Amino acid sequence: KNEVEQSPQNLTAQEGEFITINCSYSVGISALHWLQQHPGGGIVSLFMLSSGKKKHGRLIATINIQEKHSSLHITASHPRDSAVYICAVSRANYGQNFVFGPGTRLSVLP
């Protein structure tokens, strides 16, 4: 079993839809990160969470430490949101040692 899992693996949405991507993990963590990888390959860090909820523009990320689960929501999705979204956790007591989920490929159609 992978230490970090994501669902769905692939997601196609129509422009304007509300999108949810899920991440579950099985190890103790010090923080959870959401990354966005553009079709060209570049990676952008979206959020770092250790508890609760964060919002940036149309993106919202939540984490439930007890359930070892995080969600990334995109409101009013747009074709420019098309990318691979990757969940990553830093293992507790291992500094900045990261393990990554497999990614969720999102396509938003106009």
Partner 1 sequence: EAQVTQNPRYLITVTGKKLTVTCSQNMNHEYMSWYRQDPGLGLRQIYYSMNVEVTDKGDVPEGYKVSRKEKRNFPLILESPSPNQTSLYFCASSLSGFGYTFGSGTRLTVV
87: left (phi over 0), alpha (psi -120 to 50) or beta: beta
Residue nearer to partner 1 on the CB measure, 27 or 76: 27
Return the range that interacts with partner 1 (CB under 8 A); candidates 16-24, 33-41, 62-70, 71-79: 33-41
Could you tell me which residues come within 8 angstroms of residue 51 by beta carbon, excluding any fewer than 6 positions away?
63, 65
Q: How far is CA 66 from the centre of its chain?
A: 18
Return the range that interacts with partner 1 (CB under 8 A); candidates 16-24, 30-38, 57-65, 72-80: 30-38
Q: Is 60 in the site for partner 1 (CB under 8 A)?
A: no
Q: What's at 30, amino acid-wise?
A: S
Distance of closest approach, residue 69 Cβ to partner 1, in angstroms: 19
Q: Is 93 in the site for partner 1 (CB under 8 A)?
A: no
**Of 13, 88, 89, 108, which lies in the binding site for partner 1, with binding defined by CB under 8 A?**
88
3-class secondary-structure state, position 80:
helix
59, 78 contact by CB (below 8 A) = no
Q: Is 102 in the site for partner 1 (CB under 8 A)?
A: yes
Strand partners, 84: 37, 105
Return the range that interacts with partner 1 (CB under 8 A); candidates 17-25, 59-67, 73-81, 82-90: 82-90
